[in-house]
Amino acid sequence: MKSGANGAESRELIRWEHFPHGADIGIRGIGQSPGEAFENAALALTAAITDPGQVDAQTGISVECNAPDLELLLVDWLNTLIYEMATRHMLFCKFNVVLRGTQELTAQALGEIIDISRHRPAVEIKGATYTGLHVGQRDDGMWIAQCVVDV
Amino acid sequence: MELSLFQRDAECTWRIKPEGDMRVPGLIFASEALIRDMDHKVYEQVVNVATLPGIVTASFAMPDAHWGYGFPIGGVAAFDAKQGGVISAGGVGFDISCGVRTLTTGLTREQVNIQKKALADVLFATIPAGLGSTGFLRLSDSQMEAMLQGGAQWAVAQGYGEQEDLHRIEEQGCTSGAQPSQVSAQAKKRQRDEMGTLGSGNHYLEVQEIVEIYDPSAASVFGLREGAILVSIHCGSRGLGHQIGTEFLKRMAVSAAEHGIRLPDRELACAPLDSDLGRAYLGAMRAGINCALANRQVLTHLARLAFARVLPQARLEVLYDVSHNTCKEEIHAIDGEARSLYVHRKGATRAFGPGHPELPDVFQATGQPVLIGGSMGTASYVLAGMPLNEKRAFASACHGAGRAMSRHQATRRWKGRQVVDELRERGILIRSQSDRGVAEEAPGAYKDVSAVVEAAQDAGLARKVARLAPVVCIKG
């Protein structure tokens, strides 16, 4: 399973990982709060395309999402990023998510215009799906936010 | 899957008896080996689809079925609007009207072999492929509307193709009833510079050689002979289709309860055909189908330009163009009564048999060409719709091999460069912007397409006409 850790900050805490799905890719963000799990799910989304470490945080965009519950809000958040990536030709590497309750989200995403020769993108993501969709707290208290993305 | 879950109706037909909330039985067409290997999720998803309102006859799965979104990939289901039937965004999929178009070239393997490397390089430079690539067209708002209304007919009118191309496309290249007004501004914006692009994932443009003919009579009608070179294009409605799917999936999931629909899985999100939301999706999805048909037409134009540079004697003519992610209104006889049904095919190809009134004259005796995509190193097939297959799965067949392992497993097993080198040793040239993308799509990551095709034939869905081997593959 492919994963990413913030090794510099000790304890090698896994922040995101990919989980297998027949034809596509499962993405999972892990964090101390639902917002942090959402941020790391977005990092897992970028990692499905390229190495997030190769993406520079040059430009920021702001987004807002609304949905009836936290799980649909995760899908909306990821689909908003997929839309912004497609229409701005950008990749994102840093995220700041603010959740207001379980139905509203505002966020900043930082990244840069895609450079095909440097980023060597593996796939284009068509959309985030409701398959494998889950937002919740693990036994160790950490939050996870996950779903399968269609590629 | 456990064989004990099924009643075996025939060698390649497996029945799930209706239980619980199922309104109709489930029917999976597959050999015993394929069904043993199939993910149990296929069973669950076939059962879930059978619970949807207004479903007619059965919930079907094709021999290449695998775990999908709500519907299995390889799922077929028809709904009757007059009986509360539904339309499902998940039952069509994110890549609306993804499909395969195959072109004959008039070239032989010997002619192409001499220029193979130049052809691969020029095709790769001409066909926009992979994430971040853009097309040469920028459509104004009014051009976008015209494209969404006109499909491939619009593209030909713009000079991207020939009138004859249109006779070899389902619905003559244009699906009626499209409503561009139901397509959001975001979806149109996402398409703005994606016309005439392949996309990525399992999409490709492949130069292929015909290596075996099974049905000489149909092959002759289709213009196929051993050693001849074809071009196949696998792609869909690009960002526009993906955005329509995303938006309507959410709207349908949120409003299902309002419509009195209990969803066993949120991904099965649907709306009654006879509802504002159902009609809105139908209009938007048909516009998405036209976008895909226009896109494959523009790519055909680009392929012709590339061939003209390298092999000017080539004459690229459309054999046929099939879509495998759609919902289409069709007339089918149910217990002797002709009924108008909305047939969802998610990763399944329409496969009209001989004599079907919607087929062009040239295919009346053979049935329609059914184009089955392989992966980079494996075979593709041309099949033909079989007589009486309307009674089996509303005249549907498989669409490809289906994945045998996840992308992640594939990248652990293979490196992209190694896949490219091994295929080159076998005479197959791969061009792609991403090594990882190639590894994820390694031929070994797919099921045996030949076994899938044999099962489709044994089940009476479509019969083999020709087998194709890859020569050059431009990977999306």
Domains of chain B: 3-404+446-475 (3.90.1860.10)
Beta bridge partners of B373: B400
The CATH number of residue A77's host domain is 3.55.10.10
Which pLDDT belongs to residue B35? 96
Chain A CB within 8 Å of residue B391 CB = no
Say if the Cβ atoms of B407 and A151 lie within 8 Å. yes
Which is it for strands A25-31 and A143-150: parallel, antiparallel or unpaired? antiparallel
pLDDT digits (tens, 9 = 90+) for B2-35: 999 999 999 999 999 999 999 999 999 999 999 9
Residue A42 and residue B432: Cα distance in Å, rounded?
26
Which pLDDT belongs to residue B172? 96
Q: Compute how many other C-beta atoms are within 10 angstroms of the C-beta atom of residue B91.
A: 29
| Contacts with B190 from chain A: Cβ below 8 Å | 83, 86-87
DSSP state of B224: -
pTM of the predicted structure, to 2 decimals: 0.95
pLDDT band at A12 (very low <50, low <70, confident <90, very high): low
ipTM score: 0.90
How far does Cα B65 stand from its chain's mean position? Answer: 13
Smallest CA–CA distance from A27 into chain B, residue: B408
Question: Does residue A44 sit in helix, strand or coil?
Answer: helix
- Is the distance from CB of B3 to CB of B430 less than 8 angstroms? no
Say if the Cβ atoms of A23 and B266 lie within 8 Å. no
Query: For testing the chain A interface, which of B407, B431, B438, B446 should be mutated: the one with the most A CBs within 10 Å?
Result: B407
Active site residue B203: no
Q: In this structure, which amino acid lies at residue A10?
A: S
Chain A CB within 8 Å of residue B135 CB = no
- Is the distance from CB of B91 to CB of B270 less than 8 angstroms? yes
B412 or A7: which leads in pLDDT? B412
Mean pLDDT within A25-29: 95
Which pLDDT belongs to residue A6? 55
DSSP B78-136: EE-GGGT-EEEHHHH-SSTT-EEEEEEEEEEHHHHHHTHHHHHHHHHHHS--STT---S
- Is the distance from CB of B171 to CB of B290 less than 8 angstroms? no
pLDDT band at A7 (very low <50, low <70, confident <90, very high): very low
Residue B200 and residue B433: Cα distance in Å, rounded?
10
Residue B295 and residue B281: Cα distance in Å, rounded?
20
Chain A CB within 8 Å of residue B437 CB = yes
Residue B367 and residue B132: Cα distance in Å, rounded?
39
- Give residue for tokens 């993405």: A27
- Domain total for chain A? 1
Q: Compute how many other C-beta atoms are within 10 angstroms of the C-beta atom of residue B133.
A: 22
Q: Looking at B256-325, list the stretches that DSSP marks H as alpha helix, in order from N- to C-terminal side.
A: 276-310
H helices, E strands: number in chain B: 17, 19
Query: pLDDT under 50 in chain B at which residues?
Result: none
* Helix (H) / strand (E) containing B476: none
Q: Considering B203, B344, B399, B408, which one is annotated as catalytic?
A: B399
DSSP A81-132: HHHHHHHHTEEEEEEEEEEETTTEEEEEEEEEE--HHHH-------EE-STT
Domain span holding position A34: 3-150
Chain A CB within 8 Å of residue B189 CB = yes
pLDDT digits (tens, 9 = 90+) for A33-71: 999 999 999 999 999 999 999 999 999 999 999 999 999
Which pLDDT belongs to residue A8? 45
Which pLDDT belongs to residue A10? 41
